[in-house]
Amino acid sequence: MKSIKESIRLDKYLSNAKVGTRSEVKKYIKEGRVTVNGRVVDEPEFHVSPNDEITVDGEYVNSHRNVYIMLFKPSGFVSTTSEYEPSVLNLIDHPYVDELHIAGRLDKDVEGLLILTNDGDFTHRLISPKKHVEKEYYIYTKQPYKLTEEVKKEFEKGLEIDGEKFLPAKIGQIDEKTISITIIEGKYHQIKKMCQKIGIEWERIMRVRIGRLTLGGLKKGEWRELSKEEIDEIFER
């Protein structure tokens, strides 16, 4: 038998699980639309515990959980909540959207892979340089750019730009107008500062990878939840 400490009111359980507001779920309960372990319960104050099976209109309801979402961020959207500019949060239709924060922001004019979550510990691990999670960007240049061995060595050593020091990074040539830069930190305008330092005029910047996670088949503006396996793989080297 579960202890009182592990139990929770049915209406609170359902509202925490984003089934509806507290007043909405009370209405569902009183209408007889909710079952607990196969039995209709019409009392909002009824206590349930973690192992109980709860349904609303025949659909099982999971308790409140951590959510991890990957989004192909288009250019023109800010990585914050804003009343004045289009926000990436406006692209996500998810019950937990009001809890989400961005784990590693992208500039408004930068596109690509973005992760949103309600798990603060995950975000700390993801953005901490100590965890060595790689973030790879493709830089599409306005003019053909020839990457030199000297520039590669500068990146491997760690650039210093206007007195600001950056950790060692990787740079590679994809084609004559596409450069790849991989970093493990995420300082303000870091990729743009690096491009400026080595004389790249960029036309478009896109983050294509975080850890082992890539955009896959996502199109601009599309999103999906990550599986536990994908979340774990982000931190694998």
DSSP string, 74-118: PTT-BSS--SSS-BGGGG---TTGGG-EESS---TT-EEEEEEES
Is the predicted pLDDT of residue 4 greater than 60, yes or no? no
Q: What is the mean pLDDT of the chain?
A: 93
Given this model, what pLDDT does residue 82 score?
76
Given this model, what pLDDT does residue 230 score?
95
pTM of the complete model beyond 0.85: no
Q: Could you confirm whether 107 is annotated as catalytic? A: yes
C-alpha–C-alpha distance, residues 93 and 69, integer Å: 11
pLDDT grade for 1, boundaries at 50, 70 and 90: very low
Domains, the chain: 4-60 (3.10.290.10), 65-131+215-237 (3.30.70.580), 134-210 (3.30.70.1560)
Over residues 79-105, the mean pLDDT reads 90
Q: How far is CA 205 from CA 56, 76, 173, 202, in A?
A: 45, 12, 14, 7
Q: Which of 11, 57, 93, 107 is catalytic?
A: 107
Closest CA to 114 of 127, 123, 105, 124: 105
Given this model, what pLDDT does residue 95 score?
86
Is the predicted pLDDT of residue 2 greater than 50, yes or no? no
Which has the minimum average pLDDT: 18-22, 39-43, 79-83, 207-211?
79-83
Is the predicted pLDDT of residue 208 greater than 60, yes or no? yes
DSSP H stretches of helix in the chain: 10-16, 22-30, 120-127, 149-157, 190-197, 228-234
C-alpha–C-alpha distance, residues 128 and 124, integer Å: 6
pLDDT grade for 18, boundaries at 50, 70 and 90: confident
- Within 13 Å of residue 154, how many CA atoms lie on the same side as its CB? 14
